[in-house]
Structure 1
Amino acid sequence: MVGRPLFTWVLGEAIFSELDMVYVYTDDTDIIDFINKEYHWTTKVEAILRSDESATDTASTEFAMLEFAEKINYNFDVFCLLQATSPFTKRNDINTCLDKLKNGFDSALTVVNTHRFLWNENGTAINYNPHKRPRRQDFEGLLVENGSVYTTTKEALQKHKNRIGDKVAVVKMPEDTLLEIDSETDWLAVETLLIERQKRAKESQKITHIVLDVDGVFTDGTITYTKDGEHTKGFDMRDGMGLEILRQFNIEVMIMTSEQSELVAKRMQKLKINHVFLGVKDKYSLLQHVLKEQNVSLNNVAYLGDDVNDLTNICSVGWSLTPNNATDVVKQHADIVLSKNSGAGAIREACQFIFNYNKRF
């Protein structure tokens, strides 16, 4: 989903929310391995293997919730259920639901105020008078669960064995969050909405950081191998000089690549780049973490990437740039498509753009 595993959209927001601990409860050992490797930079996330019984197509969510709660001996004050297939969930939605439990409610859930006109199968209207059809802007509509966030106190969960208690608060989310992913068409619609949401949040500010992918940015994307494994990558020396010039103007250079490459580590050491992150699959969450530690906004970042795993960052940072030979999907959404190819001066061209752009500030 926009170059990230679907569940990482809500997981990333949970990490940066006011929740104290985030558990991924799954029967998929590949996901557990992913969690353990990917989120080493936070102590807030833990993956736990769930039973086969709680992971069947017929098992209820409540069954899994209660099984999990018993597994950790109900060691919590508030339980928050987040749906892994709800990528529109934001940390503010989670925090608002948590806040409701501080104000006399024992549970809260997210809803959408839908202005759709509903009917029964017998041809009778449910929520309006067809003979006095209201205008949409004058129609109060109905509140519908969107399945994104549920919070409940430990006492309410133990009493009702359910995510909903006696005194329930509702938290409204935008209407497009009602869209569910049941087909490939739904997937494409959700992906388009997420991309546009990320782009709308962008603001042009002074660039203080540049973040670069490696393969297909520093290099032309090709790797030579011997029988012993990875052998060589080609780097353009002029790119290194461009980054050195940016550093002289106090622009922080960071490397973020999904590859775990000793060759890359040595090249970045040669370039004296200190912030080098190798083997990163969820680049967006890690970038937010690093920037939060430095008290820097995404709007102060320029990002240079070329493929789908860079797409979320391409759509989210203040300025995104891509080589001329990047993949079509990245070129479609990047702010700047450079005239140079990767490994042939693209980084140097990007450095010159940033240098000129920052002059206005």
Structure 2
Amino acid sequence: MKKIGFIPLRKGSKGIVNKNKRKMLGRPLFTWVLGEAIFSNLDEIYVYTDDQLIVDFIKKEYHWTNKVKALLRSEESANDTVSTEYAMLEFCGSINFNFDVFCLLQATSPFTKRQNINTCLDKLNDDYDSALTVVKTHRFLWNEDGSPINYNPQERPRRQDFDGLLVENGAVYATTKTSLQQTKNRLGNKVAIVQMDEESLHEIDSEKDWLVVESLLVERQKRERTLDKITHFVLDVDGVFTDGTITYSKEGELTKNFDMRDGMGLEILRQYNVEVLVMTSEQSELVAKRMQKLKIKNVYLGVKDKYSLLQHILEEQNLSINSFAYIGDDVNDLTNICSVGWSLAPNNATNIVKQHADVVLSENSGAGAIREACDFIMNYNKRF
């Protein structure tokens, strides 16, 4: 049974400019749901967009998986006056309905987890032809004419005694091919419901919404962590190994400055069986040569979605994120900073990173910060 995911994206956004590409906790918004979809039970995920930059980003960024495909949608289907169903059916026709289960995923729902997707898929059986995610709300609802909808004001119930209502949160919709062809709709005639956490009801339509959702994501990532012995140490490069400055010539990148003490710290750390990984958004020959000199084998260059790559490493090697330490200095490190067992930041990192890191080091990047981080990890493991 072939199960596909479908993420529709449009360039235009009236409430928040470039919303889908804007960085939410250091990651483009759409990559939150895309990353979870990759690690779900979906067989393929299609990103359907009118933005060539997103198509190029996906082809470059997710080379480590064969599950993700990006397709350009028509201008007509990307118009903000047409329905999502129009785009769905246009896409399905373009691939000749080559699937058994269709799963619509909304990019504006960053709280979606792979478990939510899998539960919706599991609901599709002889009893249900479709499923959707909902949130239970204990709000008291009213009609405009002043009449109550879901309770008796004369017998106002306590929250703990109130069943509440289930509200569609617009995150995940799954349906069979047969149902989609018959109804031309994301939902069929026998609908199953899957509950998600209440925080997933937040919509991102304004700058204020964005700040609220980002704050909630930070708390969720941190809440899921537990303490464990550190077995792996992941490092950013620019602003961690170096002071963040680069010398250029007319031929391109010329020099970066590295601290020899940092290299010795990493060598000692590996003697304590802590594996070292380097993950940087830059595609730099200088970095590649320096890491080769340091005998660091796990070097990932040109990575924009660092969190998804880290998740891939965890799954591929059956590792726990709680046994990872991470050091970074800027916004593209934020999700990993908030998610790993221990996160560290050089003293001259950006304020937002220092705000969320577990440890702010006393040394600056390119001036002993990594050596200090290595000492911290070794001392922590000794006491663990």
Shift of 1:227: 1.5
Shift of 1:226: 1.1
1:167-203 CA distance string (max 9 Å, x none): 1000001111110001000000000000000000111
Rounded Cα–Cα distance in structure 1 between residues aligned with 2:347 and 2:125: 53
Q: Which of 35, 45, 49 is residue 72 of structure 2 equivalent to? A: 49
Rounded Cα–Cα distance in structure 1 between residues aligned with 2:107 and 2:69: 15
- Hey, what does 2:157 align to over in structure 1? 134
Q: Which of 256, 269, 282 is residue 305 of structure 2 equivalent to? A: 282
Report the secondary structure of 1:211's partner residue: strand
Report the secondary structure of 1:55's partner residue: coil
What is the total number of aligned residue pairs between the two structures?
A: 361
- Hey, what does 2:232 align to over in structure 1? 209
Normalised TM-score (structure 1): 0.99
Q: Percent identity at matched positions?
A: 78
Matched, 1:177 2:225: no
- Hey, what does 2:344 align to over in structure 1? 321
Rounded Cα–Cα distance in structure 1 between residues aligned with 2:44 and 2:252: 40
Matched, 1:21 2:44: yes
Matched, 1:352 2:375: yes
Rounded Cα–Cα distance in structure 2 between residues aligned with 1:225 and 1:138: 67
1:185 and 1:218, CA in 2 relative to 1: closer, same or farther beyond 3 A? same
Q: Which of 85, 109, 118 is residue 95 of structure 1 equivalent to? A: 118
1:57-76 CA distance string (max 9 Å, x none): 10100000111111111000
The residue type equivalent to 1:119 in the other structure is W
Matched, 1:225 2:252: no
Rounded Cα–Cα distance in structure 1 between residues aligned with 2:76 and 2:315: 40
Gaps of 5+ in 1: none
Rounded Cα–Cα distance in structure 1 between residues aligned with 2:274 and 2:187: 50
Report the secondary structure of 1:145's partner residue: strand
Shift of 1:290: 1.1
Rounded Cα–Cα distance in structure 1 between residues aligned with 2:272 and 2:33: 36
The residue type equivalent to 1:301 in the other structure is F
After TM superposition, where is structure 1 displaced by more than 3 Å over at least 4 residues in a row?
A: none
- Hey, what does 1:61 align to over in structure 2? 84
Gaps of 5+ in 2: 1-23
Rounded Cα–Cα distance in structure 2 between residues aligned with 1:139 and 1:127: 10
The residue type equivalent to 1:321 in the other structure is L
Shift of 1:311: 0.1
- Hey, what does 1:123 align to over in structure 2? 146
Rounded Cα–Cα distance in structure 2 between residues aligned with 1:288 and 1:94: 17
The residue type equivalent to 1:250 in the other structure is N
Q: Which of 208, 228, 251 is residue 274 of structure 2 equivalent to? A: 251
Rounded Cα–Cα distance in structure 1 between residues aligned with 2:141 and 2:74: 39
Rounded Cα–Cα distance in structure 2 between residues aligned with 1:135 and 1:2: 37
Normalised TM-score (structure 2): 0.93
Q: Which of 349, 352, 363 is residue 340 of structure 1 equivalent to? A: 363
Q: Which of 164, 167, 170 is residue 190 of structure 2 equivalent to? A: 167
Rounded Cα–Cα distance in structure 2 between residues aligned with 1:309 and 1:246: 25
Shift of 1:141: 1.0
The residue type equivalent to 1:85 in the other structure is T
The residue type equivalent to 1:282 in the other structure is D
Rounded Cα–Cα distance in structure 2 between residues aligned with 1:227 and 1:63: 50
- Hey, what does 1:32 align to over in structure 2? 55
- Hey, what does 1:303 align to over in structure 2? 326
Rounded Cα–Cα distance in structure 1 between residues aligned with 2:71 and 2:161: 48
- Hey, what does 2:286 align to over in structure 1? 263
- Hey, what does 1:294 align to over in structure 2? 317
Matched, 1:112 2:135: yes
Rounded Cα–Cα distance in structure 1 between residues aligned with 2:275 and 2:125: 41
Report the secondary structure of 2:77's partner residue: helix
The residue type equivalent to 2:186 in the other structure is R
Rounded Cα–Cα distance in structure 2 between residues aligned with 1:285 and 1:79: 23
Shift of 1:103: 5.3
Rounded Cα–Cα distance in structure 2 between residues aligned with 1:266 and 1:11: 32
Rounded Cα–Cα distance in structure 2 between residues aligned with 1:231 and 1:104: 64
Query: Which moves more between the two structures, 309-318 or 97-106?
Result: 97-106
Report the secondary structure of 1:80's partner residue: strand
Report the secondary structure of 1:359's partner residue: helix
Report the secondary structure of 1:54's partner residue: coil
Q: Which of 34, 44, 49 is residue 11 of structure 1 equivalent to? A: 34
The residue type equivalent to 1:47 in the other structure is A
1:306-330 CA distance string (max 9 Å, x none): 0000000000000000000000000
